[in-house]
Amino acid sequence: MRKSFLVLFFAFFALALTVGSANAVTGQCSGCHTMHDSQGGAGVGAAGAQGQLLNSGCAGCHTGTHDGDGKNSFGAPVVLDGADPTGQGNGLTNAGGDFWWVTQGSGDAKGHNVADITGLGVDGTIGTTPPGWDPDATSGHAFSQVATGAASWGANQLTCAGTYGCHGDRGQANSLLAISTSHHNNADTGGGVSATSASTSDTIANSYRFLGGIMGLENVGWNWSETTSSHNEYYGQANTDAERDDDTTDTYEDTDTMSYFCGQCHGFFHSRIVASGAGITSPWVRHPTDIVLPNSGGYANYNNDGGPIGSYSLSVPIARGAVATNAQGSRSTVIANDSSTVDGAIVMCLSCHRAHGSPEDDLLRFTYSNMVVGNSNTTGCFVCHTDKN
What residues numbered 58-117 form the site for ligand HEC, per CB under 6 A?
58, 61-62, 74-77, 108-109, 112-113
Q: Is 240 exposed, middle or buried (0-12, 13-18, 19+ CB in 10 A)?
A: middle
For ligand HEC, which residue of 45, 135, 171, 294 counts as binding (CB under 6 A)?
A: 294
Question: Is the alpha carbon torsion for 170, 171, 177, 181 positive or negative?
Answer: negative
Question: Do residues 164 and 208 lie in contact, with contact meaning Cβ atoms separated by under 8 Å?
Answer: no
Site string for ligand HEC, 336-365 (x = CB under 6 A): -----------x-xxxxx-x------xxx-
Which of 138, 163, 257, 264 is the binder for ligand HEC (CB under 6 A)?
264
Distance, CA of 57 to CA of 78 (rounded, Å): 13
Q: Check: CB of residue 141 under 8 Å from CB of residue 207.
A: no
Q: Which residue from 289, 296, 298 is spatially nearest to 319, judged by alpha carbons?
A: 289
Which of residues 269, 377, 386, 389 is near ligand HEC by CB under 6 A? 269
**How near is the Cβ of 202 to ligand HEC at its closest, in Å?**
15
Alpha-carbon distances, residue 333 vs 208, 228, 312, 321, 342 (angstroms): 22, 9, 6, 13, 9
CB of 190 to ligand HEC, least distance (A): 9
The contact mask relative to ligand HEC for 222-251 (x = CB under 6 A, - = no) is ------------------------------
Q: Given the complex with ligand HEC, which of 1 and 338 has the nearer CB atom?
A: 338
Identified binder of ligand HEC from the candidate list 160, 215, 280, 342, rule CB under 6 A? 160
Which residues in 316-335 contact ligand HEC (CB under 6 A)?
Answer: 316, 318
Burial of 155 (0-12, 13-18, 19+ CB in 10 A): exposed
Q: 80, 137, 158, 334: which one contacts ligand HEC (CB under 6 A)?
A: 158
**Which range touches ligand HEC (CB under 6 A), out of 31-39, 83-91, 235-243, 320-328?**
31-39
d(CA 336, CA 189): 30
Which residues neighbour 127 within 8 Å (Cβ) at sequence distance 6 or greater?
Answer: 153
Q: Which of 96, 67, 91 is nearest to 80 (CA)?
A: 96
Applying CB under 6 A, the span of 56-64, 87-95, 242-250, 326-334 interacting with ligand HEC comes to: 56-64
Interaction between residue 253 and ligand HEC (CB under 6 A):
no
Q: What is the spatial distance between Cα 324 and Cα 330, in angstroms, rounded to a whole number? A: 7
**57 or 359: CB nearest ligand HEC:** 57
Among 99, 234, 235, 299, binds ligand HEC (CB under 6 A): 299
Per-residue contact flags (x/-) with ligand HEC for residues 179 to 198, judged by CB under 6 A: xxxxxx-x--x---------
**Residues 200-219, interacting with ligand HEC (CB under 6 A):** 209-210, 218
**Which residue among 117, 214, 217, 262 contacts ligand HEC (CB under 6 A)?**
262
Q: How far apart are CA 297 and CA 166, in angstroms?
A: 36
**174 part of the interface to ligand HEC, by CB under 6 A:** no
The secondary structure element, H or E, covering residue 347 is strand 346-347
Burial 173-210 (b: 16+ CB within 10 A, else e): eebbbbbbebbeebbbbeeebbbbbbbebebbbbbbbb
Q: In this structure, are residues 168 and 162 in contact, taking their beta carbons and an 8 Å threshold?
A: yes
**Which residue from 301, 338, 384, 389 is in contact with ligand HEC, where contact means CB under 6 A?**
384
Give the closest residue to 214 by CA, choosing from 198, 194, 231, 195: 198
Member of 66, 270, 272, 320 binding ligand HEC (CB under 6 A):
270
Q: Considering the complex, what minimum distance in angstroms separates the CB of residue 42 from ligand HEC?
A: 19
Would you call 230 helix, strand, or coil by DSSP?
strand
383 contacts ligand HEC (rule: CB under 6 A):
yes
Least distance from C-beta 328 to ligand HEC, angstroms?
18
